[in-house]
Structure formats: structure tokens, C-alpha cells
Amino acid sequence: MDITTSVGLVAGSIVIVMLILTGGDLHMFISEHAMIIIFGGSISATLIRFPLVSILHGLPLGAKYAFTMSRSTARSLVDELAGLAEIARKQGPMGLEKVETPDPFLAKGIRYVADGYDMDFIRDNLERDRDNFLMHLEEGSKIYRAVGDCAPAFGMVGTLIGMVQMFANMTDPSKLGPYMATALLATLYGAVIANLFCLPIADKLHGKLLDEETNRTIIIDGILMIRDAKSPTLVREMLLAYLPEKHRHESGEPVPA
């Protein structure tokens, strides 16, 4: 679980609720009209922007990866693939059949090598799998960003509607307060939804996308080198190129020249 996402959301919500409670009653900040304009308007605009299939794929996948960590780091993948190359060197591709890994993408690549598929088949299938996954994850990021862009705009729409209703009822002072509250709460809801939830999640998903792209590319290159019977030392050297310089020597061993 990616604890930073959960901690950030909970901490931000607590800060807002505490500020509300220190200056009044929580019920003062609840407005059905503001909720309708923010949620209804944002969802409607998002449906116009994206195909339904993209929303159905992107939203659940985005929510899942915003709150979960990758199973493996790039450094651990390099070490694991070098170990797999050592097994394949000593026992042959059949020796990989008993290898277990928690990463399903890596497990698929290992199975392809153990089953003796040719290089082109392995490359095409793994690259297609990677690209489809990254496309759906990018869709999720774009959808959350779209909602984050729409929410403040519809908050302003709600504010304008409330202001029109307020000015249209200037002769009835009893209606001025509720209309003004609706106008201000719409702006508040839009700002909170955009800046505490949707936009941070969109940025988190973009970072996860970059990490997953690197990890899956490392796996593809490593699997292809194992299939080509490259030495474990060469596999490690080639894959370490994907890592920043400061992360290439974490194991305490020098990189072979």
C-alpha cells in the first residue's frame, strides 16, 4: 500500500474539518445545491471529454495504483533478472519453470522463456502488454486531471448561479443568506475536490506511470537477454544503465567494467 497517498488525503481532510469546526457548525458547510453543480457538472463534462470505455478502464485502474506501491523497485528487478540469468545459464531455460515471482509481468516473461518461445514472439507480446497497461494508466491520470480542472470551473458556475438568485431576491432578506452560502460553498467544494483529491492523484499516477514504464522495460530487456543466453554479468551491466548513477551500487558491489 502507498501510505503517502492515504496519509495525505486523511491529513488534508482533517485540516479542513478542524478549520470548519473552529469557526462554526459542520452543517453550515453542507449544501445539496453546491454538491449537485460540482459533482454533476464535473462528471458530465468528463463524460463529454472521454469515451465511456476509457472512463471504465481508467478510473478503477487509477484509483488502484494511486493507493498501491509497485511490487518491485528497478534495482531489485535488475538483481532478480541477473539471478534468473544465472539459473538459465546453469540449468537451461527449463530451470526457470520452478521460479516463482510476485510480479505477474515478470512471471509471464519467465514462462515464455521456459516454454521456448522465440525472441520475436516474446518481444511483441511483452511490449504489447506493457503499452496497453501504460495506456490505461495514462487514461486514469488524464481523467482525474480532467475532473480536477472541471471542479473549480463548476464551482464558479455555482457561485454565479447563487449570486444571480441572491440579487433576484433582494426584496426578501430571508433568502439572501442561503443563496450567498450556496454561492460560496460551490467554490469551496470545487477547490477542495480539485486540489486535495483529483489533481494530486493525477500527479501521483503520472509518477507511477514513469516508474512502471521503466520497470517493465527492464523486464522486457532482461527476459530477451536471458532468452538469448547472455551471461548474468552482462545482463546486470546492461540493465543497470536504466538506473540513476546513485542507485547502481546499492548492493555494495562494484559494477563490472
d(Cα 57, Cα 39) in Å, to the nearest integer?
20
Higher pLDDT, 125 or 176: 125
Higher pLDDT, 149 or 23: 149
pLDDT average, residue stretch 99-125: 92
The answer on pLDDT for 49 being more than 60 is: yes
Give the pLDDT band (50/70/90) at residue 188.
Answer: very high
Give the DSSP H or E segment for 143: helix 119-168
Higher pLDDT, 94 or 178: 94
pLDDT average, residue stretch 174-188: 82
The answer on pLDDT for 4 being more than 50 is: yes
Give the pLDDT band (50/70/90) at residue 246.
Answer: low
Identify which of 218, 211, 257, 225 has the alpha carbon closest to the alpha carbon of residue 241: 218
Give the pLDDT band (50/70/90) at residue 183.
Answer: confident
Give per-residue pLDDT as tens, 129-138: 999 999 988 9
The answer on pLDDT for 248 being more than 70 is: no
The answer on pLDDT for 254 being more than 70 is: no
**Rg of the chain taking only CA atoms, in angstroms:** 26
Phi, psi angles (nearest 5°) of residue 169: -120, 35
Q: How far is CA 192 from each of CA 20, 145, 220, rounded to the nearest angstrom?
A: 13, 14, 41
Give the pLDDT band (50/70/90) at residue 221.
Answer: very high
d(Cα 227, Cα 88) in Å, to the nearest integer?
9
Identify which of 129, 115, 105 has the alpha carbon closest to the alpha carbon of residue 222: 105
Q: How far is CA 77 from each of CA 4, 89, 125, 243, rounded to the nearest angstrom?
A: 23, 18, 19, 11
User: Using the 8-state DSSP alphabet, how is residue 249 labeled?
Assistant: T
User: Using the 8-state DSSP alphabet, how is residue 244 labeled?
Assistant: -
Assess contact for 218 and 239: CB atoms under 8 A. Answer: yes
Task: Give the number of other Cβ atoms within 10 Å of residue 116's Cβ.
Answer: 9
**Residue 92 — left, alpha, or beta (φ > 0 → left; ψ -120 to 50 → alpha)?**
left
Sign of CA dihedral 7, 12, 15, 20: negative
pLDDT average, residue stretch 107-112: 94
Higher pLDDT, 154 or 66: 154
